[in-house]
Each structure stands twice: as structure tokens, then as C-alpha cells.
Structure 1
């Protein structure tokens, strides 16, 4: 059985890392354990952040919060909801598609850079992260950014840790900025567009001054598995508008007139709209209880549908698109087909393909993250050496 350590303080966590460094015991950092199906490597101990929980400071007037890394995301969001504030980047919840349990943590959100539909307008999780406290691979407690100090090493430590998947250090505390919850939200639905037509419609919508905050395309194969039947028949290209009610009404009218040239336009009001975008955020069409391989692929917005079209010539795939087509939720019918997928990602201009789910044997045999170019890999190795010189922290998707 893999040993699991659950320190109750930052100092205790630092001592555990120091002991592990002396014994050369690899460590896998785990939050709620909701974002990965990968087991801990043989011989590694698990270092859990669950005991490092609680909101340290919340200043609604300045729209900032500081919380310990193991604080459940639902605790953070409940506190924000009381003041009608939110995390602008809409962190996703992968429990449905992965079949995991437990509670996502705020540290896991930033460690995995978990970003939802608003990412292409409001930025990713790392763009909201202001400061961190962390324990490095030597067991030293370090403070960077936020309320404490500016970086003095020439590196933006805050941005480096966000999205590092626990491979550089143990984040113990995070400080992040917030935004007000929009007064209302509506979604316009353009029906029966194919993938290429949807890409063109979304590009047109994004070029307008109507401030679209969500742009996704749901082909007919997935449309019926989302939004509780609220979407009309046929493929659905969905465009979200948020803000003050009077402003949203004017912008929706302008956008609907522009989209009428592409297809029939209908409208989802606030409750149905919010449900729809939660399900898009969480990949709900693929929360099907199966181990069929599931990828999240990030490419240029107009390249998403090109990638899927090319793959369909050689493999059984199902897909839907977020981020104006730049994020592809891609489910394979049989094998992960990593080599084929990454070859086509390169052919459409490059990007990143991350394997979220597959059968255990396929997960073990497949590189989950996009291989880095040689120059980037060399830089990454130097960064790793500065944070964790003995290679103590072994990356796994934490949450």
C-alpha cells in the first residue's frame, strides 16, 4: 500500500519533504485526488494537502482571497457566492468524466491550471494567481508574489507553479484575484451548422463588439447529451453573453441579427444558460461511465475542426469544441491513438494534447502530456533543477 502523508501545517509539510529528501523517497502531491486516474509510481509516497485547509484572508472590496492549498473548491466558491464574486476562469470539475470521487481543492485548481469556457476572454487560472507559498524539493518554505514579496530571482515563480501538476514544489497557500458575478447571462444557439460553418460563425461573433464570453460548438452526436434537452434539434453552436441585463439585451439583439445569416437562432435564458456552460466546462457529454480514451486538445481556434476532420479519416472519434474551437474534447472509440493524434496536431499548426482517461494499461503506456520541443524541454529541466534538485516530486495530475 502506498504511504500517504497528510501534514496539518506548512512546517510539518516542510519536515516531511526534508525527510523524504534524505531518504531519496519520491513524492506525489495530491489534493482531492479528483483530476487523475494515474496511480502513484512504485516506491513513491503520497503527500496530501487535505490537512492544509481553510480560507486565510478574503477582501471582497479588493476582490482578492488567500486560501490554503487543500481548501475544497466548494468552500471557496460558497464564500464567494455570499458576496456575488467568482473565479473568472471557471475551473472545471473532472469527476464526471474520470469517475473519481473526493473534493477538488483550490491548490489542485492552480496546480493543473484548470480553466473553463471563459478562459479565452478572462484568461487561464494562472492569470488569476497573484501569490503562492510553497515548499521546494529541499524542504524550504518559500513565498512569492501576492501579499508577501515580489519575485527576485528573475523568474515569475507564481506563473511557473501554476500548471506544474505538482512537479516543482508543494503549494501550501495561494492568493488569487476575483471578479463580480455577472447580473445575468444568456446564450444564443445557432442550429444545424457543420463543424466548419460553426468555426466561421464563432469567428464572426468574436470579431464583433458584443463581448461574447463563451463560444462552443456541439455537433449532433453530443447535443442530446447536454443541457437537459433545452437545446433545439440538430448541431448547436452556442454563444454566451454576460453582464448587466440592459446591456445583455442590446448585445443579444445585435449578435442574433449577425448570426441569422448562418442559421436559425434561438435563445437560452439564465438558468438554462448557466447549466449548459457548466456541462461544457466539465466535459459532461463524455461523463458516460466508460474508459474510452478522452483527450483535451488545445490548438488554434480555426484548427480544431480541421484536426477532427483529419482524424475521422483514420480513427473512430467523437468531439465537441470550446474556446471558439480552440479546445477540442476528443473521445476515441478504442485506443488512445496518441501518435496519430499528435502527428495531426503538429500538421494543423501545433498545440497540446492531454490524455485524461483510458484503460489502465493504455494510460500506463501513453505519455499523458504533450512532448516538449527540445529547447523547451531543456529550459524545463533547468527550472525543475532549481526548484527540486533531487527530482523528489513526481508529476501526476493533482486536484
Structure 2
């Protein structure tokens, strides 16, 4: 099914609801390999719902149909010197799909946020309004064009990150921001995970507006497309500063001086910074490989190295730390359960939650892909599912097997 408008989507869902037949919801299909595999009677794609129908550069707001390619949205913004501040990450290449095919609707449905999240917030924090169709085939609107229009229950935030299990997004309205005039990236080489995390946390406490803080293990740094950094053959801790061109030099020097105990960093200019952070948006250091599984772990920044160390006691692992250490992409060898029992134990001891991003379908069918919820939270999630999709039509079982 390929509806081109919300009302058409409603008409397509009604007979599926009457027959209680499940529907797989996709945009371009860039994230189909994420989540639990499930059998659906039909597939519904929003790919025909395309077009930017509102863009006011002076008001820093844009509205687009859910199937609009992200590349089109970003190209339109770039032509006016603007951007999506939360730097959406592309999970397609790391899960075996093509690069750059995701839609703007899928970005908010999966709450995909990149390195700039530490200063700009997640995708859901930039979502102002939505149009969607729920599992009752009801077309509804929520939010508006400015934050002050959002009162009461914030459905926009609630639906962001629900992976199409509560409603099908048909249109989204979101905030945009100007591109910074210039950027610089301070790169420290050879630091172990715990010291690299210490550097990132220290930098975030300083008043120099660091907008990106990542740490790559030695093995992952050797996978970088950036030749100059790859040739170093050592672990990398990178701190990004973005601001007016006149202040970048001062901020870079001040940050270097404040962190001088950790060594003398290399400095990437604006062009090299764009190249480096651009490839991280596509998880270039975590390429698709059927011999490995990939986990996404969120935890407290200072707990990150402890989580990785606990995992390494049970299996080989390579870690890419983002969000100043609060987000960890962990690559482990493929196994029958993708290391789920040991990884979830490490996360439970140190705090946080883990999501299995890449594994073979039979593995994703046998383990909990998303973080198991506490009973009180699960009860709330079941209540939301009952309210939005009582007939279990939309992506049933994609997030959790029991509902």
C-alpha cells in the first residue's frame, strides 16, 4: 500500500482493521532491519507522501510530508544556510542498507539523533507538530508551529521513538537552526577509554560551547574515511566547537589550555571538521558485517567505560562513545543471542539501557531487541498501545513480542 495523503491512508487501514490484519509501516525501508522481525499481512509505505509545504527561514520552522527524503530537507535548509540542529544519524549503512535514503518521518519515528544532541536536544525535542493516523484509522493533529502551542499531553514527544507502533506519521513540523559560520575540532590521540571520557566530560563543563564529543577505540579509528586521522593508528578523542568565525580561534586555544594536562591536540579546520563529523553521522566506523552484532547503549557519561569493561570481560568488543560518553555503540562478535545476557547484565549493574541495532533476523527474534521495561513502565506502554492501536494492527511485535 502506497498512500499519497492522510485520508488515503485512513481508507487503506480501515479494511485491515475490520479483518484484524497486521500492517508493516515503513518509509523508505532504511530501518527495516532494526527491531524484532514480525509477519505482517501487508506493507504500508509513506514514500509517496513527499513535499515541503511550509518553510519560513526567518521563523526557523519547516513542515514536510513524512515521506520526504531527509536529503531533500537538508538540501533545502543548506541553500538558506540552515540545518537540522540535532544532526540525525543514518542507520542504513550499518544495518546493510544504502546510505542517505531515510525519510524525515522515519527520523522522528525512531528519534534518531546525532552528536549535536548534547547541546541541541534529541529529534523529539525539535519536533513541534505532527499529523498522523492511529490504529483506529483516525487522522489527528498535535502540536503546532511554535513551542508555546504545545499544551497538555505532548503527543509529539510521545510518538517520537515509537517506531510506527502507535501511529503512522503523515506530516511533521520541526525547528531548524542556522549553520554555524565556522567549526574546529580538537583531536587527542592515544587516550584509553576512561581518560577519553574524562576529557569529554571536562570539556562539556567549560564555557566554550562544545557541540560534539566522541571517543573512538584504536581499532575503530583505523576504519575512519578521514585519511589523516586513520593514519595515526591510535584511539581518538574529538571535541567540536562551532561558532562565529571570529571566536573559533579564541575558543579553541582556551579549550586547549584548559585541557593541557591531557596533551597537545591536533586541530581540524572547518572543512576537515565537516568531513569527520559527517562520516560519523553514517556510522562509518561500524560498517555492516554479518560476523558482528551492534548494540546502542545509553548510560551516564562517567559510567560508559565501566559498561564497556564489564562487556569485555565476557567477549571481545569495540566501542564508539558519543554524547560525551552518554551513548556507546558497541560492536561484538555474532552469536546465538548477540551477547544479550552479558550486555544487559553490564548495563543493569552500571545503569542505562541497551538496544540491539544489528543482528541476523533469527537472533532478533529470540532476544529482547529493545530494553526490557520495569512493570510500571510496561503497564503505561500497554495503555498507550491500547489507546492508539487497540486492534494491534501497526507494526505488532516490532518493539516487544508481547504487545
Return the TM-score normalized by structure 1: 0.94
Structure 1: how far apart are the matches of 2:371 and 2:282? 21
Aligned twin of 2:76: 79
Distance 1:75 1:286, change over 3 A: same
> Secondary structure of 1:230's partner?
helix
> Secondary structure of 1:113's partner?
coil
Aligned twin of 2:45: 48
- How big is each residue's C-alpha offset from its partner over 1:118-158, in whole Å with a ceiling of 9 and x where there is no partner? 01111000000000001111111101111499567x42111
Contact in 1 for aligned 2:61/2:145 (Cα 8 Å)? no
Structure 2: how far apart are the matches of 1:285 and 1:43? 33
The alpha-carbon deviation at position 264 of structure 1 amounts to: 2.9
Structure 2: any 5+ residue segments left out of the alignment?
A: none
Q: Which has the higher mean CA deviation after the structures are superposed, 65-74 or 330-339?
A: 330-339
Q: Kindly tell me the number of residue pairs found equivalent between the two proteins.
A: 391
Contact in 2 for aligned 1:291/1:359 (Cα 8 Å)? no
> Secondary structure of 2:261's partner?
coil
Distance 1:29 1:43, change over 3 A: closer
Corresponding position: 1:243 with 2:243: yes
Aligned twin of 1:338: 340
Aligned twin of 1:23: 19
Structure 1: how far apart are the matches of 2:150 and 2:83? 27
Aligned-residue CA RMSD in angstroms? 1.7
The alpha-carbon deviation at position 183 of structure 1 amounts to: 0.6
- The 5 Å alignment of 1:1-399 reads 5-37=1-33, 41-101=38-98, 103-147=101-145, 154-231=152-229, 232-335=232-335, 336-349=338-351, 351-394=352-395, 396=398
Structure 1: how far apart are the matches of 2:132 and 2:23? 15
The alpha-carbon deviation at position 277 of structure 1 amounts to: 1.1
Contact in 2 for aligned 1:191/1:264 (Cα 8 Å)? no
> Secondary structure of 1:61's partner?
helix
Structure 1: how far apart are the matches of 2:263 and 2:142? 50
Structure 1: how far apart are the matches of 2:27 and 2:187? 37
Return the TM-score normalized by structure 2: 0.93
> Secondary structure of 1:6's partner?
coil
> Secondary structure of 1:187's partner?
strand
Structure 1: any 5+ residue segments left out of the alignment?
A: none
The alpha-carbon deviation at position 259 of structure 1 amounts to: 2.1
Distance 1:51 1:27, change over 3 A: same
Distance 1:84 1:291, change over 3 A: farther
- How big is each residue's C-alpha offset from its partner over 1:237-260, in whole Å with a ceiling of 9 and x where there is no partner? 100000101111110000111222
The alpha-carbon deviation at position 115 of structure 1 amounts to: 0.2
